[in-house]
Amino acid sequence: MKSLLSSKPVLWFLFLFNLVVAAIAPFVVDGAQGMVTSVGMGVISLGAGVGLLRGNGRANGARQSA
């Protein structure tokens, strides 16, 4: 499961989908629930973005050492 979640296509999907939901949620859902949804999805999107950046660093490091 970990290898699936750390694959680039899955991370890109999580990053973009959650970023879009975080941007739209306050306009679709009223009140505090929309804000909490936006913050939660934003945190997930940031986590996926960090995973993408760390994945690039590991891939480049592996190529340089090989």
Q: What is the pLDDT of residues 11-41, one digit of tens each?
A: 999 999 999 999 999 999 999 999 999 999 9
pLDDT digits (tens, 9 = 90+) for 33-55: 999 999 999 999 999 999 999 88
The set of residues, in sequence order, having a beta carbon less than 8 Å from that of 42 and lying 6+ positions away, is 18, 19, 22
Looking at residue 56, what is its pLDDT?
Answer: 64
Nearest-10 crossing angle of helices 31-65, 8-28: 160
Tell me the whole-structure pTM to 2 decimals: 0.74
Say which residue, 59 or 5, is predicted with more confidence.
Answer: 5
Amino acid at 26: P
